[in-house]
Structure 1
Amino acid sequence: MLKMTSRNVTAFFYFSQEGEAWQKGVSYAEGQNLARYLMEAPANYMTPTRFAQIFEEKLEKLGGNVKVFTRSKQWIEEQQMGAFLSVAKGSDEPPVLLEIHYTGSPDPKDPPLVFVGKGVTFDSGGISIKPSSGMDAMRADMGGAATVSSAILTAATLKLPINLIGLAPLCENMPSGGANKPGDVVKAKNGKTIQVDNTDAEGRLLLADALCYAHNFNARAIVNAATLTGAMDVALGSAATGVFTNSSWLWTHLQEASAVTGDRVWRMPLFEHYSKQVTDSALADLNNVGKYSRSGGACTAAAFLKEFVTVPHWAHLDIAGVMSNKDEVPYLRKGMAGRPTRTLIEFVDRLSKDRNPT
């Protein structure tokens, strides 16, 4: 029998902690790999319905503190999510709003952190159709939904002491006879009207309604993620996720989480300068593209989303630049990257330990 000396006890705790850290790292990696799998899957297999089914199957194994709701087209219509529905109507695939609830806090009434993820399972651009070259990569335009849902699954697996809600509006953006036309006007859940001048700026329409719905949950904070703009890729490339936020508290946690994982974030501006460019519409309250088209495209997209947010702690993560990996990240093969899933998980872990969001 091993004699328990102070040195043995120290070694035991050291290796125990090392083992826990290793397992935590494995869980983080599995979360990112799930997001990569979802993003890489062909769009004819990874439909909105199938995406939701995958998380239903995985989350139901975790027990009673996780609930999953697959909201149907009828429910979306009842919620008056006209902006979301306007994108979905161009496709034969029915839209789904995936809603995940994880109650990990000792107090189930603690305000939750709410994640919202853009879930366009294929983006042709709609009537404002994209160039054919590279369009196949738009099977990963549901990267926001993939990363936030995978992060919640991982947090639940690790039993992190925090309440989380995930919302993923899922649909395809296709150019059928029923699709949005440039110049159409649609109404969002909060009653604001939107002039759709570019049907390829569809992700913000989904997010607008999902962000409105997120306000129903007395959120501690709302964080959305989306492969939203090519302009974000132009601005930062794959070096970092662009973060637009009204909260220095949220930014600090996101930045510190990214320093731990190495999957970096970079703060971007939310100036009123950009808001004026999306509120200058001839036919509606808002325009879904900025007044000066491609100029500051990532910033005007964020300004558009801000019009649907009233909470003091909100962050928008534009992950278009980190969607895929060429050869920049050595531990990832070429293909869809699943970023920034690990940073989101670490961020959740940090928030579970911070009880004072000020």
Structure 2
Amino acid sequence: LESDAWQKGVLYAEGQNLARHLMEAPANYLTPTSFAEAIQQALHSTGDKVKVHIRPKSWIEKQQMGAFLSVAKGSDEEPVFLEIHYNGSTISGESPLVFVGKGITFDSGGISIKPASGMDAMRADMGGAATICSAIITAASLKLPLNIIGLAPLCENMLNGRANKPGDVVKAMNGKTIQVDNTDAEGRLILADALCYAHNFNPKAVVNAATLTGAIDVALGSAATGVFTNSDWLWGHLRQASVVTGDRVWRMPLFQHYTRQITESQLADLNNIGKYRSGGACTAAAFLREFVTVSHWAHLDIAGVMSNKDEVPYLRKGMAGRPTRTLVEFAAYLSQERQKS
């Protein structure tokens, strides 16, 4: 039994290390295409219960993911929509847990360009995609008895003659129009379409992870991942998982108060930034909620836990790969709960 626990610990650590490795990789090496190939490679060794679909731009266009495409078009790198299926459940046709991750392999900010200082860290703006994919790879290695689907819209946010301009209006997969007043609020645009797509799988729960806002870093620093959720049940499980792993989560509000700040838009149904500077992590979460109809959804804003200076003593300086282990532990809980019921 001790050796089982040790082995499980090793797999959890390897999962987090994979996420760190992906986040640290330079953006000229880890493009949307090579990210997808790296995940395909890593999943290859986990057995036959795994399917990987690397969806090209033509597929993304067919799905009418206008928000995702609007971000991707500013770069010479082709966008990829990565879809991974792990079928570990013993019950046929069981609803999956769906993980969605923001996969911006480099974020310049676009026309609303970021300051040059520290922009190199934006090679890790695909941290959401890295953590959810690594969590699924770990779940597959542990042979957890549940179905998990991972969705990662992958692209760069760059500036060329075709790039989104402030004031442009784009249309998401569900038909909602979005006024893009800040091209650096691009994560919520690509996630909008991925969240719409997640509903195709009749999910038992949808959990998305994204290095979404500097505001969550201001609010919580690196102590915990901010969680916005419409489900007390989901929150309870995520919290419990984070207590076990020590990679903590903290619940944040999803008030209508914030929704009003993104639904007042001159030209479209929604604006991609709030009317005011205040509560930036909360208005971003309120924006994502506009693309969710399932009753168990959680958004993890991981911008504050993206990197480590000296806060977590067992992690060296650099990209942190958090909260991969908490996502795995959460999936493990769900699989056990399913077996009991």
Question: What's the counterpart of residue 317 of structure 2?
Answer: 334
Q: Which moved more, 1:102-111 or 1:76-85?
A: 102-111
Question: What's the counterpart of residue 77 of structure 2?
Answer: 93
Three-state SS of the structure 1 residue aligned to 2:90 is coil
Equivalent pairs counted in the alignment come to 341
The answer (yes or no) to whether the contact 1:324–1:337 under 8 Å persists in 2 is yes
The answer (yes or no) to whether the contact 1:90–1:175 under 8 Å persists in 2 is yes
Give the C-alpha shift of residue 55 in structure 1: 1.0
The answer (yes or no) to whether the contact 1:188–1:194 under 8 Å persists in 2 is yes
Three-state SS of the structure 2 residue aligned to 1:62 is coil
Write the distance in 2 (CA, Å) between the matches of 1:261 and 1:58. 23
Structure 2 unaligned residues grouped into runs of 5+:
none
Q: Which amino acid aligns with 1:249?
A: W
Matched, 1:235 2:255: no
Provide TM-score, normalisation by structure 1.
Answer: 0.94
Give the C-alpha shift of residue 357 in structure 1: 12
Q: Deviations over 1:66-115 (max 9, x none)?
A: 00000000000000000000000000000001000000010131100000
Question: What's the counterpart of residue 172 of structure 1?
Answer: 156
Residue 348 of structure 1: which of 312, 324, 331 is its match?
331
Question: What's the counterpart of residue 3 of structure 2?
Answer: 19
Write the distance in 1 (CA, Å) between the matches of 2:230 and 2:187. 20
CA RMSD across the alignment: 1.2
Q: Which amino acid aligns with 2:283?
A: T
Q: Which amino acid aligns with 1:199?
A: T
Matched, 1:57 2:41: yes
Q: Deviations over 1:215-249 (max 9, x none)?
A: 00000000000000000000000000000000000
Matches within 5 A, 1:258-297: 258-292=242-276, 294-297=277-280
Question: What's the counterpart of residue 118 of structure 1?
Answer: 102
The answer (yes or no) to whether the contact 1:249–1:357 under 8 Å persists in 2 is no
Give the C-alpha shift of residue 62 in structure 1: 2.5
Question: What's the counterpart of residue 195 of structure 1?
Answer: 179
Q: Deviations over 1:162-201 (max 9, x none)?
A: 1000000000000111100000000000000000000000
Question: What's the counterpart of residue 170 of structure 2?
Answer: 186
Write the distance in 1 (CA, Å) between the matches of 2:163 and 2:339. 45
Question: What's the counterpart of residue 13 of structure 2?
Answer: 29
Matched, 1:310 2:310: no
Give the C-alpha shift of residue 356 in structure 1: 9.8
Write the distance in 1 (CA, Å) between the matches of 2:35 and 2:157. 16
Q: Which moved more, 1:328-337 or 1:58-67?
A: 58-67
Q: Which amino acid aligns with 1:226?
A: A
Matched, 1:157 2:141: yes
Q: Which amino acid aligns with 2:50?
A: V
Write the distance in 1 (CA, Å) between the matches of 2:323 and 2:265. 34
Give the C-alpha shift of residue 61 in structure 1: 2.6
Give the C-alpha shift of residue 64 in structure 1: 2.4
Write the distance in 2 (CA, Å) between the matches of 1:188 and 1:157. 35
Residue 44 of structure 1: which of 25, 28, 33 is its match?
28
Write the distance in 2 (CA, Å) between the matches of 1:108 and 1:37. 35
Identity %: 79
Write the distance in 1 (CA, Å) between the matches of 2:221 and 2:45. 38
Give the C-alpha shift of residue 303 in structure 1: 0.1
Write the distance in 1 (CA, Å) between the matches of 2:195 and 2:136. 17
Three-state SS of the structure 2 residue aligned to 1:353 is helix
Write the distance in 2 (CA, Å) between the matches of 1:357 and 1:111. 16
Q: Which amino acid aligns with 1:193?
A: T
Q: Deviations over 1:258-278 (max 9, x none)?
A: 000000000000000000000
Structure 1 unaligned residues grouped into runs of 5+:
1-16
Q: Which amino acid aligns with 2:52?
A: V
Instruction: Name the larger-Rg structure.
Output: 1
The answer (yes or no) to whether the contact 1:270–1:303 under 8 Å persists in 2 is yes
